[in-house]
Chains A and B, each alone.
Chain A
Amino acid sequence: MRTVIRCHLLVITAVLLASVGGCATPPPADDPDAVADFKETNDPIEPTNRVMYAFNNGIDTVLLRPAAKAYRFVLPSPVRSGIHNALSNLGTPVQLGNDMLEGKPRRAGDTTMRFMINTTVGVLGLFDVVKGWGYPDHDADFGLTLALWGLPDGPFLFLPVFGPSGPRDAVGLGVNAAMDPFTWVGQGAAVRALNWSRVGLNALDQRERHLDDIESIKATALDPYATFRSLYRQHRQAQIEDLRKDKRATIPVWFPQSGAPDTVIYSPAESPVH
């Protein structure tokens, strides 16, 4: 496995080197609007990033997309969602670790309950039975944890294989991998094979879930790279806001709640007259 990784690194470095010197040209200083736009985009190595984007796009076109299409064609929807559930169940240790690092006890509780019940009642996580029992799923990764700790996202990076990212989220990816017990558990061919199957299946599952979206973005965007960059940033921002807003108290429901009520002004489910 180590040689495989080394080989991958070589390819990645080669591509990186080939595109070194690819820095974006800032607009002239006498155009303040353009300068503001340039700063907001925060993509100083855009030419290099675009090379990575083309590289990933190539892999996607010849490998991942056809594989995801086949995956969708061969397996019926319930089977696919079972696989998706099982995969996210395997991700719960990392999720729990990050919930705790974020200081979100209710999220950590949700994750723990989800893991315990879905692994048993939900048959090794194939069925997400607790979703309807008041333990909803949420996003947690070390990039989000760092964001909550106050680290900004930094300049845009398009990583080979992993796709859109930034310094903060790239570090997050590494720490997530290190936090994953499956990275450290066991040795031998069987464990390795299982770990790699999980990686492959995860890629298939994620790609399959975005088949339609990515297709339509590529068809409608004038500059798909810029569109993916925008979507990635907005999506991360939304996840961070969700995380920040989650201030559920750890006191029992019957105890008078001190937390400010949600700012619901009108909800069609409830009567608007109080």
Chain B
Amino acid sequence: MPNRRRLFLLLTTASLLSAAGRRLASAQASAGRASEFVKSLGDRLVAVVNGPGSDREKREKLTQIIDSGVDVDAVARFCLGRFWRNASSDQQKRYTELFHLVLVNNITSKLGDYQGVRFTMGRAQQRDDTDVVSAVVERPNNPPTNVDWVISNASGSPKVIDVVAEGTSLRLTQRQDYASYLSRNNNNIDALINAMRQQVAQAG
């Protein structure tokens, strides 16, 4: 009897351990993939930013990289928060389209500031159902910044869903900016859409 119990215990422990091992291994593989993805994305971004070409060409290349590397639709939905549900499908569509343009503009308007940018990869961890890859971004005239790239596989392939710079989440900040704008404009989503359209028009 004690022997059998011991055997049972041993088997259970072994199976538990191997399950934990498999989970760890799969988490490791997932974090590893996310890390590779961020590395290649970062390399492509740096190559465009520091590379030759006019601002217009760079803008086009960056748009391609953003569209392939960022789950822009998911980020747009997150940024509208509780207002997404109240929006009509037409509003949702117009908002998402504008959000794409605003995002590209915001990134390309900083091209000059990021001239000479360098980044160093850090560690990757799994957090909830996302992978978080850390990197240190260094640009001239500015102190080095710790940037966490939050990667989700929800769309089938790894995509960026958030960038957290020194503990501040870009998408959360954007969501609170929009929420505040909406609450000062009678929660009118069309007002937000108009403001975004104006932003895009100003950026040319």
Chain A positions within 8 Å of B, measured between CB atoms, are 27, 33-34, 37, 41, 72, 77, 209, 212, 216, 219-223, 225-227, 229-231, 234-235, 237-239, 241-242, 263-269, 272
Contacts and interface: CB of A to CB of B under 8 A. Distances in A.
25 contacts: A27-B183, A34-B183, A41-B179, A77-B140, A216-B110, A216-B113, A220-B199, A222-B180, A223-B180, A223-B181, A225-B180, A226-B176, A230-B173, A230-B176, A234-B168, A234-B169, A234-B172, A264-B125, A266-B32, A266-B124, A267-B122, A267-B123, A268-B39, A268-B121, A272-B32
A212 B180 contact: no
B109 A265 contact: no
Given A265-B27, A267-B124, A226 B179 contact: yes
A272 B82 contact: no
Contacts of B17: none
Contacts of A227: 173, 176-177
Given A216-B113, A265-B124, A266-B35, 10 more contacts: A34-B187, A37-B183, A209-B143, A222-B195, A225-B180, A241-B167, A266-B123, A268-B35, A268-B39, A268-B124
Contacts of B110: 216
B141 A212 contact: yes
A37 B179 contact: yes
Contact of B177 (A222, A263, A266, A272): A222
Contacts of A222: 177-178, 180-181, 192, 195-196, 199
A266 B113 contact: no
B43 to A, nearest CB: 13
B142 A223 contact: no
Contacts of B123: 264, 266-269
Contacts of B196: 222
Contacts of B56: none
Given A234-B172, A239-B167, A265-B125, A220 B35 contact: no
B181 A226 contact: yes
Nearest to A226: B180
Secondary structure call for the A interface: helix
Interface of B: 24, 27-28, 31-32, 35, 39, 81-82, 102, 106, 109-110, 113, 121-126, 140-143, 166-169, 172-173, 176-181, 183-184, 187, 192, 195-196, 199
Q: Which of A27, A72, A222, A272 has most chain B Cβ within 10 Å?
A: A222
Contacts of B192: 222
Given A266-B124, A267-B123, A219 B109 contact: yes
Given A212-B142, A223-B184, A264-B123, A230 B172 contact: yes
Contact of B28 (A34, A212, A272): A272
Contacts of A27: 183
Nearest to B121: A268
B167 A209 contact: no
Contacts of B142: 209, 212
A207 to B, nearest CB: 13
A264 B32 CA distance: 12
A230 to B, nearest CB: 4
